[in-house]
Copies of this chain bind each other. A is one copy, B any other.
């Protein structure tokens, strides 16, 4: 039985999945999606030379012998257009964002001035032309591409989209994801507590991992160890873009789940990965000859999007891409809660991210100092749950304790997954190790910088 390396398994998966089609999305619902069209500036920003500060619009040549006294000829607020031209010896009171009046070539901020009367101000310093002036088109220039297809939609991107007044954008659609747990031993969250059973935590942990990627998955429930029931559940799941099946993929039940899955037309690409926890992990593809949805979606794509997708994914994937939307991908995840979660992070998350059109597929990694020794027998890549602590300029990583694959609490406490290379014969306290950051680590306790 072949065990793939983690990287080989990731390659197999990512060669199979491609970005899905585009759909129109309201700006309010676009955060975390990926642009499927190039975005153009529809005007110059700022639309004219404007003041970058509250102060006075001046002729810089007047200030050579500062301090100098100037006559105030006008008040210009943001939203106003200046009515007068600033002549030598004159200035205009001006607000941030307000248009620079004719004749003026610089702005002096109010802090560097002194009022002399209602109509006179003393300017205390000399400046060069252009001082505290934002030039027309400095932010963006009418007609320029300001965002390209493939850009992940962050708050900053939403700011830019609002600037060019995209109340709606073409974005890659989100994969539809179904989650199925299998096993006679499992107890549904709504069942009464039966001390002889095992609560189904995988459905919910996987649900939350999918939600964390911005996708609302469908929970199919628990399929019992019965071929007919399993087939019925799998058939429902295969109508989604991605089906996550936890449990039922270990050696003992192979003969049970595998033939059912394969009888439904799923081509299994692998069943084993040399990793700990979680080596019984499987991946399969059910291709459909009907590419109805894909065609419809394809038709909705702009030429720019199609060029972008073709370019990003390479010609070898173009055929797959044509029917991507009618293809179902099946991940067989371990029944053990921690193993299931780790496999999701390593294999499912990158696949879902790619389907959403993202270029950044993998969890952010940082380097940290290991605070204790780690035993490891060469063979499998190990993912150890760690907590991180700030330490000088960097981080220290410490195991969350018992790393048994049933220890879900250790996952709940973890800041990250430390990677022990497959070939390692153990890691020593003080070594620099690589840690993949998990969900709870976007924010930290302390501000983390000195002023």
Contact = CB atoms under 8 A, between A and B. Distances in A.
A257 to B, nearest CB: 12
Interface in A419-443: 419, 421-423, 432, 434, 436-443
A159 B97 contact: no
A308 interface: no
Interface in A204-220: 204-209, 211-212
Interface stretch (A66-74, A185-193, A259-267): A185-193
A28 B405 CA distance: 24
A368 to B, nearest CB: 10
Contact of A353 (B211, B394, B440, B443): B443
Contacts of A31: 208, 211-212
A110 B251 contact: yes
Interface string A1-40: 0000111001000000000000000011001000000000
Contact of A162 (B158, B159, B189, B211): B189
A322 interface: no
A404 B138 contact: yes
Interface in A153-173: 154-165, 167
A299 interface: no
Contact of A96 (B96, B98, B147, B336): B336
A156 B451 contact: no
Copies of this chain present in the complex amount to: 2
B412 A160 contact: yes
Q: Which of A7, A42, A201, A404 is packed against the most chain B CB atoms within 10 Å?
A: A201
A31 B436 CA distance: 20
Nearest to A345: B155
A190 B48 CA distance: 22
B79 A183 contact: yes
A358 B443 contact: yes
A152 interface: yes
A97 B202 CA distance: 14
Given A96-B335, A201-B162, A252-B95, A365 B449 contact: yes
A402 interface: yes
Contacts of A421: 449-451
Interface of A: 5-7, 10, 27-28, 31, 42-48, 52, 54, 77-81, 93, 95-98, 110-111, 134, 138-140, 146-147, 151-152, 154-165, 167, 183-187, 189-190, 193, 195-209, 211-212, 225, 247, 250-253, 335-337, 341, 353, 358-367, 381, 393-394, 402, 404-409, 411-414, 419, 421-423, 432, 434, 436-451
